[in-house]
């Protein structure tokens, strides 16, 4: 499975064509810019998340994107637990476009009673003339774990998001990441892609191998996150249906503390729902 993603890394690094036709999806996306294209490549992904990973998309200025994320239990729990459907964890949150290319997100997860927040800033936007061949963003996150564990209560995440819409149908992305906790630092390289299937559906996949993790026996029980899914766009909503070995939906959980593995059928069905609302007229930010 990692070999598939390294092929996409190769596409991203050396497979850049010398020219690009305009790459705007004919379907409406929740994150469409309200301004004319102006040679900026649009709609590399349907929402600001691939599945768990941050995507290269940024919520429009003045727009609120409400998110509901749901993960059922592992399918290896058997028929008595309806193959995981009797158990679930939920994250409810939102993202708001503060200004153009800068968004704020926040949410709360039932798993670990975790509160999280983050800022995403796009400092390079891919253009169709290849003068800017990539989209590049910075993401900084903060998380607080509830309960009695003081040692690892606060977590911090830093990410560099590097992505390219290769064709009208294919987008690829790399996400070098660091998760910082009192117990040490975890370094990982997130990889993801989307393949457009129809005007309103896409196939998404992401893999997050951990490269360096804190020393300690407890980290031996953590596994790399692997997720596959389908995005379905229905007007103002995007429904993301997927299978993943990650129960957590915040960066510290699915990057640094992922306890599920596909080899033991610790696979969870889940979904993300995105719905946008215009709070401030985006034309005021032009």
Answer yes or no: is 54 within a domain. Answer: yes
The whole-number pLDDT of residue 37 equals 46
What does residue 113 show for φ and ψ, rounded to 5 degrees? Answer: 50, 45
**pLDDT classification of 59: cutoffs 50, 70, 90:** very high
225-234 and 201-208 strand pairing: antiparallel
For 179, residues 6+ apart whose C-beta sits below 8 A from its C-beta are: 155, 156, 157, 185, 186, 188, 251, 252, 255, 256
Stretch 33-52: mean pLDDT:
81
**Burial per residue of 249-272, b for 16 or more beta-carbon CB atoms within 10 angstroms, e otherwise:** bbbbbbbbbbebbeeeebbbbbeb
Stretch 132-141: mean pLDDT:
97
Answer yes or no: is 182 within a domain. Answer: yes
**Global pTM value:** 0.85
Range with top average pLDDT, 166-170, 212-216, 218-222, 233-237: 166-170
Count of domains in the chain? 1
Stretch 48-62: mean pLDDT:
96
Residue 4 predicted with pLDDT over 70: no
Answer yes or no: is 251 within a domain. Answer: yes
Residue 220 predicted with pLDDT over 50: yes
Both tokens of residue 84? 């995981």
**pLDDT classification of 5: cutoffs 50, 70, 90:** very low
Answer yes or no: is 286 within a domain. Answer: no
Q: Is pLDDT larger for residue 44 or for residue 12?
A: 44
Stretch 65-75: mean pLDDT:
95
Above pLDDT 90, what percent of the chain? 69
Mean of all residue pLDDT scores within the chain:
86
**pLDDT classification of 214: cutoffs 50, 70, 90:** confident
Q: pLDDT tens-digit profile of 105-119?
A: 999 999 999 999 999
Structural domain containing residue 247: 2-280
Stretch 206-216: mean pLDDT:
91
Q: pLDDT tens-digit profile of 138-193?
A: 999 999 988 655 556 899 999 999 999 999 999 999 999 999 988 899 999 999 99
State the CATH number of the domain containing residue 125.
Answer: 2.40.160.40
Answer yes or no: is 201 within a domain. Answer: yes
**pLDDT classification of 38: cutoffs 50, 70, 90:** low
- The owner of tokens 């983050």 is 118
Answer yes or no: is 285 within a domain. Answer: no
Stretch 75-82: mean pLDDT:
88
Both tokens of residue 50? 């691939």
Residue 276 predicted with pLDDT over 60: yes
* Number of residues that this document lists for the chain: 286
Residue 209's nearest CA partner among 258, 159, 152 is 258
The whole-number pLDDT of residue 1 equals 52
Residue 69 predicted with pLDDT over 50: yes
The whole-number pLDDT of residue 31 equals 57
Answer yes or no: is 171 within a domain. Answer: yes
């Amino acid at each position: 499975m990692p070999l598939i993603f390294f092929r996409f890394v190769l596409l991203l690094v050396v497979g850049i064509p010398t020219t690009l036709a305009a790459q705007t999806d004919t379907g409406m996306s929740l994150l469409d810019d309200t301004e004319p294209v102006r040679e900026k490549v649009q709609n590399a992904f349907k929402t600001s998340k691939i599945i768990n990973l941050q995507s290269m998309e940024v919520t429009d200025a003045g727009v609120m994107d409400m998110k509901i994320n749901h993960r059922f239990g592992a399918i290896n729990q058997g028929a008595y637990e309806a193959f995981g459907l009797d158990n679930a964890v939920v994250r409810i949150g939102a993202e708001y476009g503060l200004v153009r290319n800068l968004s704020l997100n926040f949410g709360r997860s039932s798993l670990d009673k975790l509160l999280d927040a983050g800022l995403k800033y796009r400092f390079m936007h891919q253009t169709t003339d290849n003068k800017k061949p990539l989209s590049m963003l910075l993401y900084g996150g903060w998380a607080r774990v509830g309960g009695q564990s003081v040692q690892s209560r606060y977590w911090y995440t830093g990410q560099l998001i590097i992505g390219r819409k290769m064709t009208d149908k294919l987008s690829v992305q790399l996400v070098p990441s660091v998760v910082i906790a009192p117990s040490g630092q975890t370094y990982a390289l997130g990889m993801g892609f989307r393949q457009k299937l129809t005007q309103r559906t896409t196939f998404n996949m992401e893999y997050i191998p951990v490269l360096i993790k804190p020393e300690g026996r407890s980290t031996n029980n953590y596994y790399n996150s692997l997720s596959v899914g389908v995005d379905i766009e229905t007007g103002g909503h995007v429904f993301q249906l997927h299978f993943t070995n990650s129960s957590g939906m915040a960066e510290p959980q699915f990057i640094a503390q992922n306890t599920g593995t596909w080899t033991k059928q610790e696979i969870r069905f889940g979904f993300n729902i995105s719905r946008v609302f215009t709070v401030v007229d985006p034309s005021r930010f032009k």
